[in-house]
Amino acid sequence: MTAPHEPIPGTTIFDGRMAMKGYPLNKMCYSFNEAAARQEFLADEDAYCAKFGLTDEQKTAIKERNALALLAAGGNIYYLAKFIGMLGLNVQDIGAQQTGMTVEEFKAKLKAAGN
């Protein structure tokens, strides 16, 4: 079993430090629960990111649509799910990216593990 302080390959550990780092990003992603917020973001992404005070790292990850970089920038997968959903992706797509598998391989692995 992996000790809590040892990273799991392919993952970003979301701890208190990451929660603080990702607060603006996660707050913005939470706002996407409202259709009006999603429309405002799509109309002017830069202004919407500025409204929440995203860091340069977070803004770059948003512009590049890079879910793994968003996780590394403090994003919590549960908040990011709304943003990645706007891109037509889901949490299984992110799991596949984290493991270096195709989505089909990742789904098969989950099924084999009983998930």
What string of pLDDT tens digits covers the 115 residues of the chain? 555 566 667 678 889 999 999 999 999 999 999 999 999 999 999 999 999 999 999 999 999 988 889 999 999 989 999 999 888 888 888 888 888 899 999 999 999 988 6
Residue 23 contacts by C-beta under 8 Å, 6 or more apart in sequence? 74
Whole-model pTM?
Answer: 0.79
DSSP secondary structure letter of residue 34: S
Q: How far is CA 89 from CA 33, 47, 65, in A?
A: 16, 24, 10
> For residue 30, what are the contacts with CB-CB under 8 A and spacing of at least 6?
79, 82
Query: Is residue 79 in a domain?
Result: yes
**Residue 11: inside a domain:** no
With respect to residue 9, please indicate whether it lies within any of the assigned structural domains. Answer: no
Q: Which CATH number belongs to the domain containing residue 49 in this structure?
A: 1.10.700.10
